[in-house]
Structure 1
Amino acid sequence: MSIKSRLLLSYIAMTFIPVILFAMIAAALASVFLKDTPGGRNGPPFFQQMSSEQQELFTGMKFIAQTEPDRLSDPVFLDKMGERMNRLKTRMVVEKNGNVIHTMSNAPSPSTEHSTAKYDFTFGDGSRGTLLMMTAGNPWSGGEHTFFPLLLLSLLTVIALTNGVLTYLVSRSIIKPLYALKYAAEQIKDGDLSHEVALKRKDEIGELGGAFEQMRVRLNESIRLQLQYEENRKELISNISHDLKTPISGIKACLEGIQEGIAESGPMREKYMEMIEKKTDEMNRLIDELLLFSKLDLNRLPFDLERVDLAAYLRDCLEELQLDPLLAGVTVNFSRSGESLYVVADREKLRRVIMNIIDNSLKYMDKPHPEIRVELRDDQNEATVGIRDNGSGIEAAVLPLIFDRFYRADPSRNAKTGGSGLGLAIVKQLVEGQGGKVWAESVPGEGTGIYFTLPRSKNGGEQT
């Protein structure tokens, strides 16, 4: 239930509940104050019965004044009638020749009298008589001094209690989750992002709590990634230092040999210079890969995506690579089911992907007849390229790690399987940057296959 609906219901309850409770309390008070009145709780309405009996009493006394006037001067008779008059809250005064000969001493005071009935008659001795009967304006003879204050007090109490209880319940349902959010905010301020905000409400505060929880999760993930990036930067610096130190040490050793006269002859000097050139090229390639990976990692390398016939592109690329001296003696086969297959790709980045995968395969060739097989499949919404070799293969336990930066299948990092350790990490970044995915399959002793996908192109060269 929304807060708006909750507040509306509370306002309605604050209006009707006090009215109902006040009516019940007023009825209870009335029954208490009027329980001893004529007719009791189950009789006719009190005022109607009181007025009826008072009228009957006056009619009876009038009849007596007409038929037996001397009884109105009889104290015994008058005292007997006084009991009934007291019960009916009625006062009677008898006058004879203008003088009061009898009045009820315990009757209502004149200040409470409401109406007076007068009847003139003649006593038996011929004296002029007057009968006055006065009814009380308040049936319960002064009970209003208690009844109405209690009624007002009960009204105020009902309003105060109802509004207080409803206000407490509604405010508690709002303030309690706000305190929970405040506590969570204080935890975040202190650097603790592990405190979950679970309000489990379906109102505006619940939506606020959900947004707050998403903020906490994303902030926690952002800090985690930041710490991971910091750790990766430290690892990157360490690996760069290690990888740069090896060729620099080789160059330094060659220079020292030349300076000390070890390479005095022409062939020896030429060999040292060739070694220096090789180490320099190795450093240059390593720096290029580091710069490329750094741009990819920071999402600062733009991709020039266009419509490419992947089958034709792979044929041209492999024909060019077969002229590379590094592929001398290596059999390269290309298989394609069907003709043209158009994808959305960056030609330059795609060439780098293929070269890095093949370069990685060449490092682990251990068969007398090395072979690389390139396959192209059409998988409806995407094209899949597989580059397989018949090298030493990779153990299943380390297969998911080969796309991590600076990972080498050979832990010794020796010269045979050296390299920057960034080749396949760059492949993953370049493929994902073009909207594809990459994975590896391998059988130890039989070879390894690196597969990647590229999104198919729509008609007219539109990108998918």
Structure 2
Amino acid sequence: MRPARKLKFRNSLLSRYLVIICFALVFIPILIPFSFMASWGVNRLLFPQSVEQEPIPRSYGSAYTLEETWHKEALALGGKTPAEIDAGLKNLKQRYPDASMFWVDAEGVTRLRLPERSGLPAKWSPEDAISYMKTAVDSDPFTIVAFIGGEKEAAGQGFMVFELPRKHMKKTTRNGDGDSRFYGFFMFLMFAFFILLSYLFFRDIRKRLLRLESGMTRTGPNGLPVRIPTGRPDEIGRLEQAFNHMVDELGHSRRRENEEEELRKSLISNLSHDLRTPLTVLAGQLYSFRKEPLSEQGRTSLSLMETKIDDLSGLIDHLLSYNLLASGRYALNLESRDVLRVVRVSAAAWYPLWEKAGIEADIDLPEEPLSWRIDEQGFRRVLDNLFQNLVRHASSGGYVGISLARRHGRTALVVTDRGPGLGAASPAKGAGLGLQIVDLLLREMSLVRETESSTEGGTRIYIYPSV
């Protein structure tokens, strides 16, 4: 059982999708640094000129380091003479040769400029100082202003200024934007690949389900669903196999049903033919007995036997007719005929039997012809079966009526009796082959039979064209 379960899990849709999820969880963290390295390499291959624009001869550290150093030097120069301050700035200039320095005394006079430069006011006013500080914020060069002697001596000895181009503080390259751009591109490719795998996975499931739905709704020439090709042995594959197994079972069942139907038809046909010979012999012997002197009881028994032989002969005829009709081998010649004439001829043939059974006949048919496409012999067979059922099961009502009526917008032939109805028990009730033959014959002639029956009002049978 364990290997089978392991095999089913390996071939299941759940395991396949778990592989996709695990791929995303495991390989995406690995691919992120790889994508960064790939974007860095591609950027340098495509933009080789974007690597450092010019060599940087010196690096003076970060802005924090420079600012801390400059404030320490300003604090150290507190209480010094102007000459000593000038000497201190010159020493700092040697340490930062790419920087510009100057200092302003407490009177607002610009003293030493390293190097000499124009554009600085000789006498600083508060407005000049504020304007200069505002312009220097977040600009290039990087500017540091410190009060000589520290913040406590702000009004005592003036301030000193340090200016350094920002290129001496950090490298300036344009690769950052390119790296970010290509890194984002590679990340997008990875996520797009994952989405593509998920899309292909679910598209395959949807395609197979639609194929299965199509197989369930499409039927073949035999009226059964058609087999569908099976895919991988996962849940859908096993469902496809189960569907094909069901189709095969339906096909076997249909073949067995057809074989049984053929056997039944062959059995009925053979029995009908085999029974006719002994029935004919029995009928001949009973006819011979009638010529012999018999007692009253003997003649009664002989009449009963003749009646039963006639009933059995009629049943055999019904079996043969039903067999031919059910197999589609009953030949009908459909022509336009006056139905009322056929009904009158058939009723005239049955009139003596009705009179003998004490049945009053009420035939109310118009003189105008009523044309239907019928097989005259088949339609007479329909009427004979209906009249025979009436004599057998409804003679107690003592009435038969034949007339025309409107039924569902069509002219219908109506046969009425006042018997106990179809639901009543009858000692002469048979297998119902007579009515089945009636329905089969009427169907072949595109006619419909409808029956209304009750134990109080008898039975009314309507026959009319289906179209």
User: What is the TM-score when the length of structure 2 is the normalising length?
Assistant: 0.46
Structure with the greater alpha carbon radius of gyration? 2
